[in-house]
Amino acid sequence: MISIMKKQRNKLINNKNKKGIIIGLGTLICVYLGVSVFFVNHFCFGSQINGIDVSFKTINQAKEKVSSVISTYSLEVEGRDGIKEKIDGKEIGLTYNGNDKIKEFKNKQNSFKWITSLFNKSQFQIDEIVTFDKELLKEKLNKVSFFNSKEIIEPKDVTFEYSDKGYNMIDEVNGNKIKENSVYENVENAILKQRNTLNLDEANCYEAPKYTSKSKETKEAKDLLNKYTSLKITHTFGDNKEVIDGSTINKWLYADENMNVTFDEKQIRKYVDSLAAKYNTLGKTRTFATSTGKTVQVYGGNYGWIINKSEEVKSLIEAIKKGEDVTKEPIYSQTAVSHDNNDIGNTYVEINLTKQHMWFYKNGSLITEGDVVTGNMNQNFGTPAGTYKLNYKERKATLKGENYKTEVDFWMPFNDNIGIHDATWRTEFGKDIYINNGSHGCVNSPPSLASAIFENIESGTPVVCYTE
């Protein structure tokens, strides 16, 4: 009996529970449907338009709220050095222009899925919800501090500084020069999207250095500069030497706008010019000890060392590019016999124009000497003084001039068409014959004297002509 009663009681409880569940479900369904009906004309939970909360708003209410917010809109533009500028919507004629867009946003929401909006915000970005006067915006931007040319610092690439320990990098300068078109574009875009802040740095609105201390090209340039300045170049001038190292070479180098290591040829040329000024001997006055025991100063002539400046500049650049120590002679366009004080060595022809006498020394020994006849002074054909070099020697030559044509056995020119040759037509030499009956500038010699010189002399031998 007791068992039957328990069963009946449990049955009554179960029936009550079922009715409660049914009622609860019905209530929930009603609430769900009621809320769904509400959201047919209202925005769901977490609905935002351009960051403006329009939850539970009707389309018209949302329009009013968005329009109200837009009416007080302003954009803060942040630049470098803590500079900030504010652009008020009223200054640029900002107006609401998004009716259809807001309705479009509402139509995308399913009112029967309002529950999901409890967990996921529904954000809608309307990029053209406003319109504004672009000319007014431009006028405003042109007045802000970012565009103040007096305060602009130009960006600057990383540079290099040389020290006795090699090259150091001097960091790039970012500066604060803005890209005007980029600023206009980013500000317009921020306003259209109704953003409240714009960071010009983050928006890449500043001019930037092309190369920084972290650039691959910068590091490569530094390595190459150090390689070039770590070497030594030694020029030899006989027993004399001129050594250049990084302290000089660094003045010849620079990294161009593309971080290519480039040679400053003008600076290299200055150095080569200094070598030429010190070691070129063409045209220099020579102190010469004569065979008569006197010491004379010999001016002019075409003899002497001449450094080929343009070729030597190229040679130095090539040597540096190899990156190795080198010992070398300069490239010469003309050479002399030696690098001694008067550079003529101990093999030379000596012509005393005053005494009308000529000597020929070879390796320091006198080979021959004798009287000569030089250029006619009264007819302005005087043989020029100076130090020259023998151009060449020729056997059986024909000498030609305006009024003459002469055959000679030994021809040795040293100053253009002026040279030493035999003069078989003369019966005497020396004395003062040259004053009124001299040559056209050549050194007329007895055949035996000319022959002795011819047989022992070589091209390039110095010929010293002087007066006492």
With 80 as the cut, is the pLDDT of residue 101 above it?
no
Confidence at residue 209, expressed as pLDDT on a 0 to 100 scale: 95
Is the same domain home to 381 and 314?
Answer: no
Q: Which of 299, 334, 369 is at the close of a domain?
A: 334
Classify burial at 86, counting beta carbons within 10 Å of its beta carbon; exposed 0-12, middle 13-18, buried 19 or more.
exposed
Among residues 345, 455, 422, the alpha carbon closest in space to that of 389 is found at 345
Is residue 442 annotated as part of the catalytic site, yes or no? Answer: yes
The pLDDT mean for the chain works out to: 89
Confidence at residue 256, expressed as pLDDT on a 0 to 100 scale: 96
Q: Is residue 234 one of the residues assigned to a domain?
A: yes
Summarize the confidence of residues 179-190 as an average pLDDT.
93
Is the same domain home to 309 and 405?
Answer: no
Among residues 378, 371, 367, 379, the alpha carbon closest in space to that of 354 is found at 371
| Structure confidence at residue 15 as a pLDDT band (50, 70, 90) | low
Is the same domain home to 354 and 324?
Answer: no
| Highest mean predicted confidence (pLDDT) among 21-35, 188-202, 437-451 | 437-451
Confidence at residue 340, expressed as pLDDT on a 0 to 100 scale: 86
Q: Do 107 and 44 contact (CB within 8 A), yes or no?
A: no
- One-letter amino acid at 154 equals E
Is the same domain home to 364 and 319?
Answer: no
Q: Is residue 51 one of the residues assigned to a domain?
A: no
Is residue 205 annotated as part of the catalytic site, yes or no? Answer: no
Confidence at residue 8, expressed as pLDDT on a 0 to 100 scale: 62
Q: Which of 334, 367, 383 is at the close of a domain?
A: 334
Q: Which of 307, 334, 361 is at the close of a domain?
A: 334
Rounded to whole angstroms, what are the CA distances from 376 to 261, 385, 421?
Answer: 61, 14, 16
Question: Is the pTM higher than 0.85?
Answer: no
Q: Is residue 158 one of the residues assigned to a domain?
A: no
Sign of CA pseudo-dihedral 292, 294, 299, 300: positive
With 80 as the cut, is the pLDDT of residue 198 above it?
yes
With 90 as the cut, is the pLDDT of residue 334 above it?
yes
> Edge-to-edge strand order for the sheet containing 348-352?
365-371, 357-362, 348-352, 462-466, 386-389
One-letter-per-residue 3-state SS of 210-256: CCCCCCHHHHHHHHHHHHHHCCCEEEEECCEEEEECHHHHHHHEEEC
Is the same domain home to 370 and 433?
Answer: yes
Distance CA 112, CA 32 (A): 8
Of 235, 357, 421, 440, catalytic: 421
> What share of the chain in percent tops pLDDT 90?
68
- Alpha carbon 156 to its chain's center: 13
| H-only helix segments in 41-153 | 59-71, 99-107, 134-143
Tokens representing residue 238 in the block: 């006989």
Q: Is residue 417 one of the residues assigned to a domain?
A: yes
Q: Is residue 79 one of the residues assigned to a domain?
A: no
Confidence at residue 4, expressed as pLDDT on a 0 to 100 scale: 59
Classify burial at 46, counting beta carbons within 10 Å of its beta carbon; exposed 0-12, middle 13-18, buried 19 or more.
middle
Confidence at residue 145, expressed as pLDDT on a 0 to 100 scale: 81
With 60 as the cut, is the pLDDT of residue 96 above it?
yes
Q: State the DSSP H helix or E strand holding residue 276, giving kind and residue range, or none if neither.
A: helix 265-279
Is the same domain home to 445 and 358?
Answer: yes
CATH of the domain at 416: 2.40.440.10
With 70 as the cut, is the pLDDT of residue 184 above it?
yes
Q: Is residue 104 one of the residues assigned to a domain?
A: no
With 60 as the cut, is the pLDDT of residue 278 above it?
yes
Of 44, 205, 442, 465, catalytic: 442
Is the same domain home to 356 and 315?
Answer: no
Dump the DSSP string for 144-195: SGGG-GGG----B--EEEEETTEEEEE--B----B-HHHHHHHHHHHHHTT-
Is the same domain home to 297 and 378?
Answer: no
Is the same domain home to 275 and 303?
Answer: yes
Summarize the confidence of residues 404-425 as an average pLDDT.
95
- Range(s) of the domain holding residue 384: 348-466
Confidence at residue 9, expressed as pLDDT on a 0 to 100 scale: 61
| Structure confidence at residue 29 as a pLDDT band (50, 70, 90) | confident
Helix, coil or strand: residue 338: coil
Summarize the confidence of residues 158-187 as an average pLDDT.
94
Is the same domain home to 240 and 285?
Answer: yes
Domain count, the chain: 2
Confidence at residue 72, expressed as pLDDT on a 0 to 100 scale: 86
| Structure confidence at residue 10 as a pLDDT band (50, 70, 90) | low
Tokens representing residue 57 in the block: 């708003």
Summarize the confidence of residues 103-132 as an average pLDDT.
70
CATH of the domain at 284: 3.10.20.800
Q: Is residue 22 one of the residues assigned to a domain?
A: no
Classify burial at 191, counting beta carbons within 10 Å of its beta carbon; exposed 0-12, middle 13-18, buried 19 or more.
buried
Summarize the confidence of residues 23-41 as an average pLDDT.
72
| Structure confidence at residue 306 as a pLDDT band (50, 70, 90) | very high
Is the same domain home to 244 and 299?
Answer: yes
Confidence at residue 114, expressed as pLDDT on a 0 to 100 scale: 64
CB atoms inside a 10 Å sphere around CB 418:
20
| Structure confidence at residue 3 as a pLDDT band (50, 70, 90) | low
CB atoms inside a 10 Å sphere around CB 429:
19
pLDDT in tens, 126-154: 666 788 999 999 999 888 887 777 788 99
Confidence at residue 272, expressed as pLDDT on a 0 to 100 scale: 98
Q: Is residue 32 one of the residues assigned to a domain?
A: no
Is the same domain home to 355 and 327?
Answer: no
